[in-house]
Structure 1
Amino acid sequence: VVAGALASGLAPTPKARVANAGTSSFSSSRHAQREMVGSNLTYLAQRVFGWPLYGKVFIIMCAMVPLVLVAAAAYKFVSEEEWGSAIAKTFFWLNDVPGADSTGEEHWRSTVVAQLIVFCGMFTFAILIGVVSDEIASKVDEVKTGNSKVYEKNHTVIVNWNDQLIPLLKQMAVAKDEGSGFQRPIVLLANKEKEWMDETIADELADVPPITIVTRQGEAYNAEDLDRVNAWSAERVVVLHPDIDEDEKHDKDALERVESNKATAVLNLRSEVNGLQSRAPDIIVQMPFRLAEEDNSVSLAVALTNKSDRKLGDLAYVNGTSELSKLKAFSIMQPGGIRLFEDLMLQTNDSSEFYTYSHKTLAGKSFKDAWRMFSNGTMVGLMGEDGKLILGPRDDDVVNSKGEVLVIADNLACIVRDIEKKKGIVPERSIPEKGSQHMVMNQCPIKLPHSKKIVMLGWNEESEQCIDDILAL
């Protein structure tokens, strides 16, 4: 095997010489034969090394048989040992069997042969170790860069890749660190090279709390790829708007194709592939801009699957550009508003975030009473009995029987400290007066008291929507 692998490199190079026509023809024929033999041996070695591990080990063991016999014959010739003894000693020396001593020979000729046999044994053992090590390394690489199925349950699946993915993963890492979710692995499915995704995520998330992220290469609209990430057993699936080229952003056909692919992904996720899943996962779909009903392929997919008898998960839309446009407009018209949005949206150790929280002591309380129970956070919403979230509720709105509320706080520990540890008992000096928050809300001007002059610098596809939102305010 080794000779075949090295044949092309060890074949002698013919020296240039002057010869007559007959000698030249004979020399060329012999040279061609040597090249053919070398090429055949090289090809045979490549075939052998392409076999599975057990096949390569079997070939090495077979090659050991003639090697042992030839070495035993040489040792028998110089030592006059019997065949059985010569073969046994040779086998022990070649394989470095413990207890086999090659330095105890009495004659110098048998000592030289014994050392040569040990030297050959070093090479055969090195070849065996190299084959096994290479097989182990290739299996490790296959696991790291492979695209095998993920056998997780109740995990989070994210499909597609865009600029919002890394910030989303950072928010998930912060939420996991604070104990507010994402304790199961995050599985990412995108049409990118797996090795590139792993390196990018490792670099971008180096300074955030640890979180387990598994990547797989594939398309979100392909049912086989969705099955590879076990999407139907996930707790939630986030469908991101995939990255597209700059030219395609203004191509209506390209945009329709992207939306159709997202709709196909939603249709697959809300369809029953087999009878093992009792409930479809919750689905969050990112929409870069609001679409008319007739152009919204995802809504059509939802309407088709709503007729299913299967228990479906919740579905929510995140409208990126249009919602950001409203935040821009509000920040322009309300000086200081941008500070509020920065604190809520930038995930840092010192920033505040929205937290959904539930506790039995909050159940049945009116908003004006429940709000006063928080000294380290601000309650800004509650869940009604119909399951709908009410933001900026009235004083007499009542928290549902599960005690579900929405709170802005630095971290989840602040909320726990307010409710669970203090049992709702807050020092009087820290309690706002009843109804004071709603009173402040009522005093916020709906319309500006005077006209405002605004200079807009630059123009892009979001500018027109931003102007409309400014005029609406």
Structure 2
Amino acid sequence: MAWRAFPSRSRVRYGFDNLMAHGTPVLIGWLALVCLAIVVPASVVLVWADRDTPPTSSGRMAAVWESVGRTLKIGGEVGPPLYVVMSVLLGLVALLFVSALVSLITAGLNERLMALRLGRSVVLEERHTVLLGWSDQVFPVLTELVAANANQRGAAVAVLADKDKVEMDVEIAGRVGDTGRTRVICRSGPTTDPAILTRVNPGLAKAVLVLPSGGQGGDAHVVKTLLALDAAGPPSGDRVVVAAVRNPRHHLAATLAAGRDGHVLSIDDIVARLLVQTSRQPGLSLVYRELLDFAGDEFYVVPAAALTGRTFGEALGAFATSSVVGLVRADGSTVLNPPSATRVEEGDRLVVITEDDDTATPADTVPPVDEEAIVTALPRTPAPERMLLLGWNRRAPLIIEQLDQYVRAGSRLDVVALGDAATAHEVRATTTDPDHLLVSFHSGDITEQRTLAGLDVPSYDSVMLIGDESPPSEGGTETDDRTLVTLLHLRAVEESARRELAVITELTDDRNRLLAPVRQGADFIVSGRLISLLMTQIAENRHLADVFQELFTAEGSEIHLKPAIDYVPTDREVTFATVVESARRRHECAIGYRLRAEASIAPAHGVRVNPDKRTKVRFGAGDCVIVVAEG
């Protein structure tokens, strides 16, 4: 009774499932019976309906047998019993052979398709770029590589990650879009296994990028991947390896694992330094954004044969559409902003900012310089600063250390963060000399309006907003969410005070920058995108590693935005060549300017990097010249 309680369809399905469970021999027997039950009656109908059907019953039965034999591919021969049996046997053997052959071909194709879907085949590309690991940084890296390879044929990027190949293909198509001439090839597997690494053929690659991973063990995974890359075998050419670690404590281990040809970026150090630099020079983040992506002008290393024997000062004015900022010596050493009297020797190359590597050619005539427009800057005495740091994360102690190196004695930094986070790092952060930089902590939730209302935010010279580290159960998205809420409150403070605040904001996801409730041209440091751009630039030109090393360390030259009035008058038009010459006399390399009147106009926001030296510009109050100079 219980069996009949179920619908007929369910009973049929249940009976079929039981039949399938009996194994292959039973299935073959039932299949044969079903075929005979259909073929034999159909053959009888065909024979009896045929106009030329034999008149006798034995003849008709023979015709039915022949029809069944042709349909089932077993011959259907007539004659003596032995002859019929042997013909049927040969037919069954042929049928078995063909069926087995079809099954083998089908199984082979399925196995190959499954291997392709799983991303386990070997990449046979040469001089390609390899990305190891998977994170949100994959997408900006791929976007920049596509832009860099736009004028090259046969460019390829191979991605290896412990992730399903189809999922990687779908995400790349959605986030990167059309890759133009660059083919993106995804392979699946752990990046820490040397045998698996051979799937992307790293030995023949021109560059290998080891992307930083999230989580507590991200840096350890980067180090293991670098060791696996070394164990996979030496490269056959001049391959460059670029990696990034988050914690500065792991930088040395990663550098040792990367080997002599490797370059390892310390994410926290670079982000902390750039946050400090930008907090004291509004607009600096826009300059780096222009220089680091492959849209517009960026750094290149070009031959200097045409300028051999001339001085570096002469080289500064020799290019009309390129800005010279340094030298790469014949021995491979890089010097940014060397003294003007430095001679360009045979084998040296120039570090320039230009649109492409083939646009850096000396001008036929030196761009004109207006000697009367060159002014001497009046000395300025730096004043103590009052700064506000909103939020706390692992980079906060590094930020305080960097500030201590920059600010004037008597400066003050107020830190506002959740009590637990601030207290945990208070001892380390206040190890600075209080007579030089006094650090004070205030417990409070920066996402609450009343916390900011009690700070008198407009009274500070600069404000740094960094992401509060989320609890272990949360992700980076929640960090940016809190930052966006705080920015809403800061905008309300701006509107109430009727003045712009000098705010530099740290985000983890570049997509959230578009949601930020701030004025056009505000300063943002998106850590993931910044490191992605740096890694891509070095992967395309290994000599830029030394350039960025100097720009992002305390020693040597850096990029500065300085008042235009210190270089040329503000009441007349001058060529940019005149600005370059004025900067040269101050031992600086001028690479552009920023116009305050255009600060709210996208996409440049008043920033002009590498303008034509023959063009004229009239500076006004608040305008800046962008220079490479020692701090």
Paired residue for 2:125, among 122, 142, 152? Answer: 152
Aligned counterparts, 1:183-222, within 5 A? 184-206=155-177, 211-222=182-193
Equivalents in 2 of 1:371, 1:33: separation in Å? 87
Residue 325 of structure 2 aligns with an amino acid whose one-letter code is V
Could you tell which deviates more after superposition, 153-162 or 334-343?
A: 334-343
2:266 maps to: 319
Shift of 1:38: 6.0
Paired residue for 1:282, among 229, 240, 244? Answer: 240
Paired residue for 1:297, among 246, 253, 265? Answer: 253
Q: Does 1:174 align with 2:147?
A: yes
Equivalents in 2 of 1:299, 1:343: separation in Å? 28
1:100 maps to: none
Contact kept, 8 Å, 1:185 with 1:214, in 2: the verdict is: yes
1:185-241 deviation digits (Å, cap 9, x = unpaired): 111122233222222211111267553221222222111221121122222211122
Unaligned residue ranges in structure 2 (runs of 5+): 6-10, 74-101, 407-631
Shift of 1:454: 1.8
Q: Does 1:375 align with 2:320?
A: yes
Equivalents in 1 of 2:169, 2:67: separation in Å? 52
Residue 216 of structure 1 aligns with an amino acid whose one-letter code is R
Equivalents in 1 of 2:344, 2:204: separation in Å? 32
Shift of 1:472: 0.8
1:265 maps to: 225
1:98-129 deviation digits (Å, cap 9, x = unpaired): xxxxxxxxxxxxxxxxxxxxxxxxxxxxxxx9
Equivalents in 2 of 1:402, 1:360: separation in Å? 7
Contact kept, 8 Å, 2:254 with 2:264, in 1: the verdict is: no
Aligned counterparts, 1:100-249, within 5 A? 143-178=116-151, 184-206=155-177, 211-244=182-215, 248=216
Contact kept, 8 Å, 1:189 with 1:217, in 2: the verdict is: yes
1:222-264 deviation digits (Å, cap 9, x = unpaired): 11221121122222211122121xxx3xxxxx4xxx4443333
Equivalents in 2 of 1:134, 1:272: separation in Å? 32
Q: Does 1:416 align with 2:392?
A: no
Equivalents in 1 of 2:395, 2:286: separation in Å? 21
Equivalents in 2 of 1:229, 1:47: separation in Å? 47
Shift of 1:340: 1.9
1:360-380 deviation digits (Å, cap 9, x = unpaired): 435554322333232122111
Secondary structure (helix, strand or coil) at the match of 1:39 reads helix
Equivalents in 2 of 1:34, 1:140: separation in Å? 31
Unaligned residue ranges in structure 1 (runs of 5+): 1-12, 17-31, 49-55, 96-128, 249-253, 307-312
What is the aligned-residue identity percentage?
21
1:336-364 deviation digits (Å, cap 9, x = unpaired): 4333223224x374x43222333643555
Give me the CA root mean square deviation.
4.7
Contact kept, 8 Å, 1:155 with 1:235, in 2: the verdict is: yes
Residue 228 of structure 2 aligns with an amino acid whose one-letter code is N
Higher relative contact order (CA 8 A, sep 6+): 2
Shift of 1:138: 8.5
Contact kept, 8 Å, 1:354 with 1:407, in 2: the verdict is: yes
1:469 maps to: 402
Contact kept, 8 Å, 1:379 with 1:406, in 2: the verdict is: yes
Secondary structure (helix, strand or coil) at the match of 2:390 reads coil
Equivalents in 2 of 1:318, 1:34: separation in Å? 61
Residue 384 of structure 1 aligns with an amino acid whose one-letter code is R
Equivalents in 2 of 1:388, 1:444: separation in Å? 35
Equivalents in 2 of 1:210, 1:315: separation in Å? 28
Equivalents in 2 of 1:34, 1:459: separation in Å? 62
2:287 maps to: 340
